[in-house]
Homo-oligomer: A and B are copies of this chain.
Amino acid sequence: MFYHSGKLQYEVRVDNPDPVFAKYLQQAIGGVEGEIRVAMQYMFQAMGARGDSKYRDMLMMTATEELSHIEFLGHAVALNLQNAPLDAQEAAATDPVVGAIMGGMNPRHVLSSGLSAMPVNANGVPFDMSHVYATGNIGADMLANATAESGGRVLASRLYNMTDDKGMKDMLSFLIARDTMHQQQWLAVIEDLGGIEACMPVPNSTPESHEAMEHSYYFLNTSIDEETPQGVWTNGGKAMDGRGTYTAKDKAEPMGQVPDLGKARPKSGAQKEQM
């Protein structure tokens, strides 16, 4: 069950409201790299967690933290919109800076939300929940979470560069820090479960008899004119899962048939010539 405090998790200060930066910040709320995504992803993973309950607890606790991030980012968006132009006189100023604002801000911040945050990304595309990755497999989920936090920290770092506002830089430095921890805590779960070798391949419960293992350890070069790129994945060393050795197949060959579906059946809605 959830509870709420009337205060924000972190102080939000905007020294120079900037409606264009408000649009940029939306990516951190409603983008695939944003906070709605991680809040919901961790919450759904927690609701489906089976096995040791400590992982479920971690997930729900961090989901709760991410909800707080949505909240203070939403406040930051609204503060950046406080002085945005609301009528044609304000908007049509010949001042090029205003011109750029009108071109650069999200018009729905005026038209639809009345100067407030929306659950959309920097292009105004609403977040959709297909990005909530929760597989029921803790290995796949932890990688998905580290991925999400990496995308989040890349985004926060870029936003940090794109503003000169001291308040915004301070808030973003907090987000960058929390994304650092979150990246590492999800990978730490893999450590906790025995490390990469023990966890891989994901799922590690698939019987080897279900796997055509002669195809499990070669890098496939599908190019007709490029050399196989060399690296850990081709160096003959032990694969990460400890079950095989990395090699390469330098020339890919078809192993299958020419596909042929024959003629179309009557009543299938095809043209007569296909039957």
- Report A117-163 residues with CB < 8 Å from chain B CB: 117-140, 143-144, 146-147, 150-151, 153-155, 157-163
Interface contact A112-B241, CB-CB below 8 Å: no
A143-B146, A154-B137, A205-B271 are contacts. A173–B257 as well, Cβ < 8 Å? no
Q: Which residues of B contact A270 (CB under 8 A)?
A: 50-51, 114, 136-138, 203, 205
Q: Establish whether residues B252 and A1, one from each chain, have CB atoms under 8 Å apart when the complex forms.
A: yes
Q: Say whether B114 contacts A269, CB under 8 Å.
A: yes
Residues of chain B lying within 8 A (CB to CB) of residue A126:
125, 128-130, 132
Q: 0/1 per residue, A41-68, Cβ < 8 Å to B?
A: 0011001111111110110111111011
Q: How many copies does the complex hold?
A: 6
Partner among B12, B124, B254 whose Cβ is within 8 Å of the Cβ of A259: B12
Residues of B within 8 A of A257 (CB): 7-8, 11-12
Known contacts A36-B129, A96-B94, A136-B114: does B71 contact A264 (CB below 8 Å)?
no
Q: CB-CB < 8 A to A67: which residues of B?
A: 2, 67
Q: Chain B contacts of A151 at CB under 8 A? A: 133, 135, 140, 144
- How long is the Cα–Cα vector from A239 to B191 in the complex, in angstroms? 11
Interface bin, chain A: 35 or more
Chain B residues near A82 (CB, 8 Å)?
A: 261
A177 touches B118 (CB 8 A): no
- How many Å from the CB of A33 to the closest CB on chain B? 7
Establish whether residues B161 and A212, one from each chain, have CB atoms under 8 Å apart when the complex forms: no
Residue of B nearest to A135 (CB): B154
Whole-angstrom CA separation of A161 from B212 in the bound complex = 15
Known: A64-B222, A111-B158, A192-B231. Is A139-B267 also a contact (CB below 8 A)? Answer: no
What B residues does A262 contact at CB under 8 A?
50
| A142-B238 Cα distance, complex, nearest whole Å | 19
**How far is it, in angstroms, between the C-alpha of A224 and the C-alpha of B60 when the chains are bound?**
12
A75 interface neighbour in B47, B70, B112, B218, Cβ under 8 Å:
B47
Out of B113, B162, B226, B271, name the residue touching A110 (CB < 8 Å).
B162
A150-182 vs B: 1/0 string, CB under 8 Å? 110111011111111000011011101111110
Q: Chain B residues near A53 (CB, 8 Å)?
A: 260
Given A9-B254, A99-B99, A180-B211, 12 more pairs with CB closer than 8 A? A3-B3, A8-B255, A51-B274, A68-B222, A75-B259, A75-B261, A88-B163, A120-B123, A129-B129, A184-B240, A184-B246, A224-B224
